[in-house]
């Protein structure tokens, strides 16, 4: 089937996602997204039967290949009007596939755990691993569109635009992380939908499917049509185009869905495997020695008396603030990065002793598990995020992508380069939902590190802290320094700034970290 003919809108020709195309001088020349889908496409029984056999075999073969190669996950988004045949077509599709490796996800109202996380958390938690196909009814498009049409708020248009932009970035990230997105929009003309809803109501076996809400929404058909069209145009990217499915004929819409999935999978599976060489990054030439790191005054110290007093005071503040009623609507995400032996562990301990242990989780980041490796990079961090009223400390974090993975060449250059933007998006989403994100870089001098390494080798119960890897990393001191400078430059945002901590004096560092945390919390909660 010539998909491009049946669905003229999945070419992404208006694929510049953040800008409305200019108004045409000849309005009649501007085609609408749903126009084709209202033509009443049909396919006859015989054609259907014939094409179904071939399609089925090809789909199954593609699925088996997907499961064997395990280098790609498939997410199928099913959206569109009620009674447009979404469930029926997906049901047919799953009988053509090996149902064991297809997950169908539906979202109703969020659970309370979901409400206490950023909105995308509920989708992240069930992203399919590589080798699998997941179908999402009621996905990340549903809420923004419904709220834009049915909501009352003044800022809802701006909020809608923001959502579309977030979705665009999110889907681009998924595509880059080897999640193939297949997006199908089931459409019915207004009259057809009304007829369909009434028919469902008449049949005692299907009457349950039509709710009051469906009729309420039907009254806003035209608005939904316009807003959906905007969503579709804005989010039709090269990596994740929409296919509009005329839902009026059962055989037709099922074939279109199946063939769209097949052609998307085939195109991706047949593409020569991406052999972006993952190699250590080369450093940019330096003109002088001045960097944000060399500018740090690492000689700063603190007297023991001041240390005791200020630490105790900051700890007491932190204890009070994390118990504050306003904190129950917020959460705290603290990131610790730093040179090896910069004193992260000891500093973290000063934080944990201040806070009610039951509100807190420390997450050390080491090698990912195989479940984590099978999903987009950020998945392992999403799954550890705190609910409202709670706090998570990441001992190393998502910044590994632009630090160790960049320097050691574990990530291809294209991958760590896009990570800066992805990380900023990620942190923005967290903060928008009430999380307070605080990020510390603990910096020590090369000489101080050497002193600490040697000390660790000497003291019996510190030996586990020093490994060959630490010595190897040390040889790449300059590469790491360059990566840190880039990281701070690109991800120190107003909502989640980096705090550089001079850590040659451990006590000075601890006080700076604790006081920063307390001040930040106080400012965010507007209260001590």
Residues interacting with a second copy, by CB under 8 A? 56-57, 60-61, 64, 87, 90-91, 94-95, 98-106, 111-113, 135, 137, 205, 208, 316, 319-320, 323, 345, 348-349, 352-353, 356-362, 364, 369-371, 395, 460-461, 464
Token readout for 131 is 């080798």
Query: Based on CB atoms, which residue is closest to a second copy, 269 or 359?
Result: 359
- Find the helix packing angle between 477-491 and 413-432, rounded to 10°: 40
Contact 233, 15 (CB under 8 A): no
**Shortest distance (Å) from residue 62 CB to a second copy:** 11
Phi-psi region of 351 (alpha: psi -120 to 50; beta: other; left: phi over 0): alpha
Report the nearest approach of a second copy to the CB of residue 159 (Å): 26
Residues 343/503, Cβ–Cβ less than 8 Å: yes
Rg of the chain, C-alpha, whole Å: 27
Closer of 358 and 475 to a second copy (Cβ): 358
Q: Which is nearer to a second copy, 105 or 493 (CB)?
A: 105
Report the distance separating Cα 316 and Cα 63, nearest Å. 57
Nearest approach, Cβ of residue 67 and a second copy (Å): 8
184 vs 482, beta carbon nearer a second copy? 184
Retrieve residue 384's tokens. 């550890």
Q: Which is nearer to a second copy, 66 or 179 (CB)?
A: 66
Task: Give 34 or 377: the residue with its C-beta nearer to a second copy.
Answer: 377
Taking the alpha carbons at both ends of the chain, their separation in whole angstroms is: 66
Q: Measured from the CB of residue 435, what is the shortest distance to a second copy in angstroms?
A: 19
Q: The dihedral of CA 278, 279, 285, 288: what is its sign?
A: positive
Whichever of 192 and 347 has its CB closer to a second copy, that residue is: 347
How many Å apart are CA 198 and CA 207, to the nearest integer?
A: 9
Sequence-separated contacts (24+) of 430-434 with Cβ below 8 Å: 430/118, 430/333, 430/385, 431/495, 431/496, 432/118, 433/117, 433/118, 433/119, 434/329, 434/330, 434/331, 434/388
- Asked whether 385 and 416 are in contact (CB, 8 A), the reply is no
Q: Report the nearest approach of a second copy to the CB of residue 349 (Å).
A: 6
Three-state DSSP class for 437? strand
For a second copy, give the closer residue by CB, 28 or 370.
Answer: 370
- Least separation in angstroms between residue 93's CB and a second copy is 10
What is the distance between the alpha carbons of residues 312 and 375, in angstroms, rounded to a whole number? Answer: 42
Report the distance separating Cα 406 and Cα 485, nearest Å: 13
Question: Which 3-state string (H, E, C) describes 96-136?
Answer: HCCHHHEEEECCCCCCHHHHCCCCCHHHHCCCCCCCCEEEE
Shortest CB 323 distance to a second copy, Å: 6
Least distance (Å) between residue 138 CB and a second copy? 8
Closest approach of Cβ 111 to a second copy, in Å?
Answer: 5
Q: How far apart are CA 184 and CA 244, in angstroms?
A: 6
In whole angstroms, how close is the CB of 422 to a second copy at the nearest point?
A: 24
Decide whether 241 or 389 has the Cβ nearer to a second copy.
389
Distance of CA 397 to the CA centre of its chain: 15
Q: Tell me if 112 sits within 8 A of 105, measured CB to CB.
A: no
Residue 468 structure tokens: 């060959």
Angle at 369 between CA 364 and CA 371, to 5 degrees: 130
Closest to a second copy by CB, 280 vs 364, is 364
Residue closer to a second copy, measured from CB, 94 or 516: 94
Q: Which is nearer to a second copy, 86 or 520 (CB)?
A: 86
Residue number with CB closer to a second copy (188 or 351): 351
Least separation in angstroms between CB 350 and a second copy? 9
Could you say which DSSP state residue 237 is in?
Answer: B
Cβ–Cβ under 8 Å, residues 75 and 179: yes
Three-state DSSP class for residue 468: helix
To a second copy, the closest distance from the beta carbon of 86 in angstroms equals 10
């Amino acid at each position: 089937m010539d998909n491009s003919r049946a669905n003229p809108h999945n070419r992404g020709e208006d694929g510049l996602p953040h800008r409305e195309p200019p108004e045409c001088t000849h309005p009649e020349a501007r085609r609408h997204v749903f126009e084709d889908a209202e033509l009443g496409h049909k396919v006859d029984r015989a054609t259907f039967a014939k094409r179904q056999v071939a399609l089925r075999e090809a789909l199954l073969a593609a699925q088996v290949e997907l499961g064997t190669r395990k280098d790609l996950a498939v997410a199928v988004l099913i959206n569109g009007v009620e009674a447009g045949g979404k469930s029926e077509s997906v049901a047919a599709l799953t009988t053509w596939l090996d149902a064991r490796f297809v997950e169908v996800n539906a979202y109703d109202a969020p659970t309370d755990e979901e409400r206490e996380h950023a909105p995308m958390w509920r989708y992240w938690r069930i992203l399919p691993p590589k080798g699998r196909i997941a179908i999402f009814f009621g996905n990340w498009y549903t809420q923004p569109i419904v709220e834009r049409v049915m909501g009352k708020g003044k800022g809802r248009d701006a909020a809608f635009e923001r959502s579309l932009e977030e979705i665009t970035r999110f889907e681009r990230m998924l595509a880059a992380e080897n999640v193939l997105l297949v997006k199908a929009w089931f459409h019915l003309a207004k009259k057809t939908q009304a007829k369909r809803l009434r028919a469902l109501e008449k049949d005692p076996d299907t009457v349950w499917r039509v709710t009051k809400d469906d009729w309420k929404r039907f009254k806003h058909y035209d608005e939904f049509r316009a807003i959906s069209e905007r969503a579709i145009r804005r989010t039709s990217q090269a990596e994740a185009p929409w296919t509009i499915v005329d839902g009026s004929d059962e055989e037709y819409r099922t074939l279109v869905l199946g063939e769209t999935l097949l052609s998307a999978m085939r195109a991706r599976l047949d593409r020569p495997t991406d052999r972006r060489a993952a190699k250590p990054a080369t450093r940019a030439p330096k003109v002088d020695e001045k960097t944000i790191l060399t500018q740090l005054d690492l000689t700063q110290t603190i007297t023991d008396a001041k240390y005791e007093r200020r630490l105790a005071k900051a700890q007491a503040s932190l204890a009070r603030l994390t118990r504050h009623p306003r904190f129950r609507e917020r959460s705290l995400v603290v990131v610790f990065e730093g040179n090896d032996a910069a004193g992260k562990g000891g500093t973290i301990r000063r934080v944990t002793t201040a806070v009610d242990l039951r509100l807190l989780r420390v997450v050390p980041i080491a090698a990912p598990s195989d479940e984590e490796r099978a999903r987009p990079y950020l998945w392992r961090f999403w799954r550890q995020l705190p609910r409202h009223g709670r706090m998570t400390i990441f001992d190393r974090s998502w910044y590994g992508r632009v630090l160790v993975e960049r320097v050691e060449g574990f990530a291809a250059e294209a991958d760590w380069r896009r990570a800066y933007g992805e990380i900023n998006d990620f942190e923005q989403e967290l903060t928008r939902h009430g999380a307070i994100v605080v990020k510390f870089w603990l910096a020590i001098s090369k000489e101080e590190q050497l002193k600490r390494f040697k000390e660790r080798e000497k003291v019996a119960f510190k030996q586990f802290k020093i490994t060959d890897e630490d010595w190897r990393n040390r040889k790449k001191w300059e590469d790491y320094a360059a990566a840190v400078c880039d990281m701070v430059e690109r991800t120190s945002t107003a909502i989640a700034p980096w705090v550089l901590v001079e850590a040659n004096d451990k006590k000075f560092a601890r006080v700076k970290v604790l006081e920063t945390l307390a001040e930040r919390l106080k400012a965010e909660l507007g209260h001590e």
